[in-house]
Amino acid sequence: MEHYSMNLTLKVWKQKNATAEGNFETYQVKDISSEMSFLEMFDVLNEQLIHEGKDPIAFDHDCREGICGMCSMYINGRPHGPWHGTTTCQLHMRAFKDGDTIVVEPWRANAFPVVKDLVVDRSAFDRVIQSGGYISVNTGVSVDGNTIPIERENADKAFAAAACIGCGACVAACKNSSAMLFVSAKVSHLALLPQGDVERKNRVLNMVAQADKEGFGSCTFTEACEAVCPKEISITNISRLNSEYLKAGLSADKAH
Amino acid sequence: MLDSKIPAGKLEDKWTDYKGHCKLVNPANKRKLEIIVVGTGLAGASAAASLGELGYRVKAFCFQDSPRRAHSIAAQGGINAAKNYQNDGDSVFRLFYDTIKGGDYRSREANVHRLAEVSVNIIDQCVAQGVPFAREYGGLLNNRSFGGTQVKRTFYAAGQTGQQLLIGAYQALERQVALGSVQMFSRHEMLDVVMIDGKARGIIARDLISGKVERHFGHAVLLCTGGYGNVFYLSTNAMGSNVTAAWKAHKRGAYFGNPCFTQIHPTCIPVTGDHQSKLTLMSESLRNDGRIWVPKKQNDPRKANDIPEDERDYYLERRYPAFGNLVPRDVASRAAKERCDAGYGVGTTKQAVYLDFRYNLINKYGRAEASKHGIENPDQETLVRLGKEVVKEEYGNLFDMYEKITGENPYEVPMRIYPAVHYTMGGLWVDYELMTNIPGLYALGEANFSDHGANRLGASALMQGLADGYFVIPYTIGNYLADEIATKPIPITHEAFEKAEAGVTERINKLMNIKGSQSVESFHKRLGKIMWEKCGMARNAKGLTEAIGEIQQLKKEFWSDVRIPGGIEEMNTELDKAGRVADFMELGELMCKDALERNESCGGHFREESQTEEGEALRNDDQYMYVAAWESKGDSNWQLHKEELKYDMIKPTQRNYK
């Protein structure tokens, strides 16, 4: 792979805190190597800003290997930038060329208020999980792990849904700011396993209700979420959620 | 000598006897007792959830925006358990033995045996929570092999085992949050332990959004804050992983055990340039199917695929025929360094070796698939195609990650890998009950020193984190709290809270008022360079002595010339980082001191002065069969305490993987 170096113009959202008004600031960065990750390019910019006596740009990041779900930049109109199935931290600068202008914003959704610059508050996702995204089993009461065989196909599907990293790109991409891909991934993960069967009705009803309460919008099935999901969570999970929801809702003994 | 409070009796009965006799707290009293849990990785989340389930009032803290993001999430390969589902001769004893031997006889027998015992419960617990482990077509759990063992005991979920286990623990934690038994404080960083009458009674934490400093009371405090590999700047740890919570406890009197025991993981994506912010691991599970080699010719300019089979040196298979590519991490790392130092390294920097999947892709998986599909005499192309599909299933996410970072396709060309800092076996000294020498202050998971000796085996970190949180602390903490039921919650207006908060505030102000010219990052990089060069894969007395001087100098420079922009009562990531780097510098000095004091090689600690003729680590059991537990005595000053290691069950020998 040929490496190259580039000069770039960055237009980045700056916002002092949750209540302040934000605006785009324009920055120039020079001699960026195509081998760098996108966040390493931001490191370079922040070092530059510190040397100039300016405030660096606040952004969320942690593992930098695409698994913690912390990084969350809206790059050139797309959550996590131009690469398919990739988090911001795994996006590398060879995706860009010399002279490019890159626009970087935070996730935009009422349920994800901006904390500072590119940092948003995603605690709504934790509260959605609290409403039922678990199997109610206390430590120490379990039977042997091989007591219940699980059909390989279902185990694989459950795993594929459980791969969600809770980054919120699905919400950021959705014109309705719907969290349905996130909710459906958890509902599917647990509904596909025999261990999750017992609570499946309450789970889906409660999680959808909580998502509504948090201010996430409704799903109109535009599939924008699937297109940007860094873990390529499939929208068939949303279909499964709809079917789970319908079944739970139709069940007469469930009052909510 | 330190008392590790190991119960009397036969090794295999100790834990059962302990559980049968430890003190209990009745349910009504549990509701009156408050426990602080710092960190929400596998150890912290599992502890907080389990203690909440028991009825204690728990407050959990993490610096990330959600407990689900703790760095346990990035663990890839798997989790060990002595289930013997494969019928290949595994047992609690074998897991215990492998772990003690893998740790080069520098861990505690009783702790490791307990770990092996509860390993089987962990898998059951996780399955019940809905952790989607890999399964065979019959629906039963699948296993794979990891380094340092000759059985298949590693449970996994593709290359995302840590993620799936953490999500399981996180969901259990959130369930307790919903039930009101756990109160969660995200984006909070612990900055001091509050001590009252010699016991840990709370913490001082900073809200990382408002910048405000807060006081929190607890009848006991659990530090589940992970390891300190980021002292090297470049490591496989997350950017935020830090030693601060453990270090504050150390400054308050908690001993730091074996600080120099660092794990350098053999298979990481090599460093490419100065811009790099972190290194990325390629799971050890890849050594199941990947063969490690370098060219037989020095400075060979050819591309990997142009080098014929007989001109490749599969040096691990050559040097260690019994374990081959699955030798423990410390052994594999040193062997890679040896080849590169001798001029056989590959890639542009020559600081890399190949990890090659082609052989097993074709011969193991390709042939098996062809046979399954009834294809007779398959051609090479068919084998590659079929083999690729299986490899993709097993390691797909890792291969994708490699390609995103390097721009090379590992299905076509071998991966280039090199060792990198990954884990720290050292940590806060704890006794059998996971309590530090400070009453009421516990350390769990990677934050403690206890189970892995001088080298951790693969797939054992997840096991230990969850063992500590799910199955050990719920028992041992009762033994302490049973005597605390009469202790009323201490108001946070108590003088000790006030003083501790004032100390924290003073340090923050001091940092902000330096107003120097160099960034925090630049200091961290320089510290990392000193540590990697002089306290890294190979260490010697001269280098370590120099490193101590250099770090002291760097520390002075930091405290007079660091530049932290922004303010205090706001989100200020540079200020957060500055506090952590300041602590790393002090820790770095102690690591070098510990490495210098331990004039033997063991596990990942390789003193050049102490090696066999073949270049293997040479222990000195007569002089160093102990845990080094360091007590802080003020600036750059420590006192060494020793915990003698006694081996009743296993006779320490020279480790042999040949």
CB A112, CB B97: distance < 8 Å: no
CB A53 to CB B565 under 8 A?
yes
A252, pLDDT greater than 80? no
The token pair at A180 is 């349905």
CA angle B503, B504, B507 (to 5 degrees): 85
CB B68 to CB A126 under 8 A?
yes
At residue B205, the 3 state secondary structure works out as strand
Average pLDDT over residues B524-552: 97
A151, pLDDT greater than 90? yes
B509/chain A closest Cα distance in angstroms: 18
Angle between the N-to-C axes of helices A180-191 and A200-214, in degrees from 0 to 180, rounded to the nearest 10: 170
- pLDDT tens digits, one per residue of B351-369: 999 999 999 999 999 999 9
Out of A33, A50, A68, the one facing B273 most closely (by C-beta) is A33
CB B167 to CB A50 under 8 A?
no
CB A50 to CB B519 under 8 A?
yes
d(CA B335, CA B329): 10
Out of B123, B128, B170, the one facing A137 most closely (by C-beta) is B128
B88, pLDDT greater than 80? yes
Backbone angles phi, psi at B315, to 5 degrees: -65, -30
Whole-number percent of chain B with pLDDT over 90? 95
If you ran DSSP here, which 8-state letter would residue B445 be given?
Answer: G
Mutation site, A60, A62, A119, A193, interface B, largest B CB count within 10 A: A62
Distance of CA A8 to the CA centre of its chain: 27
CB B201, CB B491: distance < 8 Å: no
Looking at the domain B265-421, which fold is it? Flavocytochrome C3; Chain A, domain 1 (3.90.700)
Question: What mean pLDDT is reported for chain B?
Answer: 96
Residues 6+ apart with CB under 8 A from B503: B192
End-to-end CA distance of chain B: 36
Out of A65, A69, A125, the one facing B280 most closely (by C-beta) is A65
A145/chain B closest Cα distance in angstroms: 4
Mutation site, B404, B477, B568, B577, interface A, largest A CB count within 10 A: B404
Question: What mean pLDDT is reported for chain A?
Answer: 96
Average pLDDT over residues B174-183: 98
- pLDDT tens digits, one per residue of B452-467: 999 999 999 999 999 9
CB B66 to CB A131 under 8 A?
no
Q: Helix-strand-coil percent breakdown of chain A, rounded to 5?
A: 35, 15, 50
Average pLDDT over residues B72-81: 95
Number of Cβ within a 10 Å radius of residue A146: 17
d(CA B4, CA A252): 59
Average pLDDT over residues A236-254: 89
What's the half-sphere exposure (Cβ side, CA atoms, 13 Å) at B344? Answer: 19
Residue numbers in B near A163 (CB within 8 A): 160, 163
Residue ranges with strand state E in A82-165: 101-105, 114-116, 119-120
- E strand or H helix that includes residue B501: helix B495-514
- pLDDT tens digits, one per residue of B263-301: 999 999 999 888 899 999 999 889 989 999 999 999 999
Domains recognised in chain A with CATH numbers: 5-105 (3.10.20.30), 123-250 (1.10.1060.10)
CB B157 to CB A86 under 8 A?
no
CB B239 to CB A64 under 8 A?
yes
Q: In the prediction, which pLDDT does A254 show? A: 53
Which residue in B has a C-alpha nearest to residue A121's C-alpha? B65
Strands lying side by side in the sheet with A78-79 = A23-33, A5-14, A101-105, A74-75, A78-79
- pLDDT tens digits, one per residue of B189-210: 999 999 999 999 999 999 999 9
- pLDDT tens digits, one per residue of B406-430: 999 999 999 999 999 999 999 999 9
ipTM of the modeled complex: 0.98
Out of B125, B175, B240, the one facing A134 most closely (by C-beta) is B175
Residue numbers in A near B177 (CB within 8 A): 126, 130
So where are chain B's domains? 265-421, 507-644
Q: Which CATH architecture has domain B507-644?
A: Up-down Bundle (1.20)
Alpha-carbon dihedral sign for residues A176, A179, A181, A184: negative
How would you class B552 by CB atoms within 10 Å of its CB: exposed for 0-12, middle for 13-18, buried for 19 or more? middle
Strand partners, B607: B539
B153, pLDDT greater than 70? yes
